[in-house]
């Protein structure tokens, strides 16, 4: 297979040299540009597969370069851009994403983090004919479950979807509890507080897969687990500045068919890292007014961050529960289709929670179990290219 080609854009010769050496050691081909105009010219001629783009550049700054590249490529393709800056301000990150960047790194960063992010983006966007020399297998998919509000069943759906992917589709699955302060996977899966967690990963001097493997828990259901910290106060050890979550996800996707991440509803830096790394984000909702209001805000925020509409998929949980709002009414309010529906079965769901026995195993033959199986089958057969499209509804439909 052809080697992935990376364009490094930075006006500091030392930075160019260090990044070039690191990338070449990993088997990538490297191009370099010292200013914005040169970067645009090289990209037009060479068509790099990924661009590392510094913000502060002569002639054209990084935002202008990103905008120019996006305008030039049109609908013909999408070269992933990682914007690099010394600024930690969230407004600068949002500006970069709006300009067309796919990811954002704050200097100084660890080489392992950079490589994890590069592989994540190449796996999502690069043609299948491209592959860095050091990569030994096709990268798996990262899917994130995000609750539009509390109590909509996000964790229940994430856990049972992960189990169904393994048991029904035969996939290798790792489930990450990304609700770092108040993760519930220990309760839902009947695990004690003495189990290792993500804190044991980030406390190490460097993150690699051997370390991750020693912390992962193999559950009786057949999936592997990376648990949230055992107490809220230890959650702060998972650093958004060092992008621990994206490093971990980048490593896991090289070894599993699916990395399933259950995140809470806060759109903080850590959750934005997960969302940026995800191939698909499933926004879990119910058919009630407060939830519809939250979903609209989430969709608007994601659009402002430059996320394509197709990467955000709506999942209506408890779809058969009577709320006075039909699926069609919900779609009209949101002006887009609901991609998936999971039926309501409170008794099965609450029994699974209280016993620590997921219904995807204990009650796989129930209406709820069958509904989740159908949900994951649709996900598993979904062509990645099709996942980038979604039907938007015009106003007044």
5-125 is classed CATH 3.40.50.2300: yes
Q: Identify which of 394, 139, 104, 328 has the alpha carbon closest to the alpha carbon of residue 250.
A: 139
For residue 385, what pLDDT is reported? Answer: 52
- List pLDDT tens digits, range 53-74: 999 999 999 999 999 999 888 6
For residue 391, what pLDDT is reported? Answer: 52
| CATH fold match for the domains 5-125 and 141-388 | yes
Please state which CATH class domain 141-388 belongs to: alpha beta
76 pLDDT higher than 50: yes
Q: How confident is the model at residue 187 (pLDDT cuts 50, 70, 90)?
A: very high
CA distance 93 to 79: 19
Q: Are 318 and 341 in contact (CB under 8 A)?
A: no
Q: Are 369 and 360 in contact (CB under 8 A)?
A: yes
CA distance 54 to 44: 18
Q: Identify which of 254, 251, 261, 10 has the alpha carbon closest to the alpha carbon of residue 113.
A: 251
- What number of other Cβ atoms are within 10 A of residue 304's Cβ? 11
- List pLDDT tens digits, range 273-310: 888 888 899 999 999 999 999 999 989 888 877 677 77
- List pLDDT tens digits, range 111-166: 877 888 888 888 777 654 454 434 334 678 999 999 989 999 999 999 999 999 99
Q: Which helix (H) or strand (E) holds 177?
A: strand 173-177
On whether the pTM is more than 0.85, the answer is: no
Average of per-residue pLDDT across 44-48: 89
Q: Which residues pair with 145 in a beta bridge?
A: 262, 282
Domain edges within the chain: 5-125, 141-388
């Amino acid at each position: 297979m052809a080697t992935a080609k990376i364009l490094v854009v930075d006006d500091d010769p030392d930075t160019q040299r260090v990044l070039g050496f690191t990338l070449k050691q990993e088997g990538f081909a490297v191009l370099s540009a010292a200013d914005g105009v040169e970067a645009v010219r090289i990209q037009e001629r060479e068509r790099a597969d990924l661009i590392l783009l510094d913000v502060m550049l002569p002639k054209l700054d990084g935002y202008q370069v990103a905008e120019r590249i996006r305008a030039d490529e049109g609908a013909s393709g999408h070269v992933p851009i990682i914007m690099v800056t010394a600024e930690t301000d969230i407004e600068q990150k949002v500006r970069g994403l709006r300009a067309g960047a796919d990811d954002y790194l704050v200097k100084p960063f660890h080489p392992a983090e950079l490589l994890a992010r590069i592989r994540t983006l190449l796996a999502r966007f690069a043609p299948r004919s491209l592959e860095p020399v050091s990569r030994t297998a096709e990268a798996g998919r990262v899917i994130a479950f995000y609750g539009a509000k509390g109590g909509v069943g996000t964790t229940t759906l994430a856990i049972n979807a992960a189990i169904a992917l393994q048991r029904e589709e035969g996939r290798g699955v790792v489930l990450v509890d990304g609700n770092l302060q108040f993760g519930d996977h220990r309760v839902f899966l009947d695990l004690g507080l003495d189990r290792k967690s993500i804190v044991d990963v980030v406390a190490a001097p460097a993150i690699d897969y051997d370390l991750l493997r020693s912390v992962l828990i193999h559950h009786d259901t057949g999936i592997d687990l990376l648990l949230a910290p055992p107490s809220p106060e230890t959650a702060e050890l998972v650093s958004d500045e060092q992008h621990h979550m994206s490093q971990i996800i980048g490593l896991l996707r090289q070894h599993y068919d699916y990395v399933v991440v259950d995140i809470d509803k806060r759109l903080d830096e850590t959750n934005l890292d997960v969302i940026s790394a995800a191939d698909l984000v499933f926004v879990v909702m119910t058919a009630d007014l407060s939830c519809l209001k939250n979903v609209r805000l989430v969709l608007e925020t994601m659009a402002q961050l430059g996320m394509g509409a197709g990467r955000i998929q709506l999942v209506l949980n408890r779809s058969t529960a009577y709320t006075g709002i039909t699926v069609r009414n919900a779609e009209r309010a949101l002006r887009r289709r609901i991609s998936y529906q999971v039926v309501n079965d409170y008794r099965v769901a609450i029994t699974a929670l209280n016993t620590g026995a997921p219904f995807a195993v204990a009650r796989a033959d129930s209406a709820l179990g069958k509904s989740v199986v159908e949900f994951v089958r649709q996900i598993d057969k979904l062509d990645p290219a099709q996942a980038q499209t979604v039907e938007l509804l015009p106003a007044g439909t």
